[in-house]
Amino acid sequence: MLTWLARFDQAVGAVLKPVVFVGMVALIAVITLQIVSRVFFTSVSWTEEVARFLLIWITFLGAALAFQQGRHIAVTVVTDLLPPRLYRLVAVAAQLVALAFLVSLAVIGYRYMLLQGFQKSPSLRLSMTYVYAVMPACSAVMALLCVSDLLRILAGADPRQPQARRGTET
Per-residue pLDDT tens, the chain, 170 aa: give them: 788 888 999 999 999 999 999 999 999 999 999 999 999 988 888 999 999 999 999 999 999 999 999 888 888 889 889 998 999 999 999 999 999 999 999 999 999 999 998 999 999 999 999 999 999 999 999 999 999 999 999 998 877 765 554 555 44
In a domain, 128, yes or no: yes
CB 139 within 8 A of CB 105: yes
Residue 166 within a domain: no
Answer whether 0.85 is exceeded by the pTM: yes
Q: How many other CB atoms are there within 10 angstroms of residue 61's CB atom? A: 21
In a domain, 168, yes or no: no
99, 150 Cβ separation under 8 angstroms: yes
Residue 170 in any domain: the answer is no
CA-CA distance, 18 to 148, in Å (whole number)? 22
* 110 located within any domain: yes
Please report the pLDDT score of residue 170 as a whole number. Answer: 42
62 and 20 Cβ atoms separated by less than 8 Å: yes
User: Looking at the domain assignment, is residue 165 inside a domain?
Assistant: no
User: How many structural domains are present in the chain?
Assistant: 1
Is the residue at 125 inside a domain? yes
Answer whether residue 160 is part of any domain.
Answer: no
Residues belonging to the chain: 170
pLDDT of residue 163: 57
As a whole number of angstroms, the distance between CA 48 and CA 27 comes to: 10
Angle at which helix 134-154 crosses helix 47-69, to 10 degrees, equals 0
Identify the helix (H) or strand (E) that includes residue 119: none
Domain with 126, as residue range(s), is 2-154
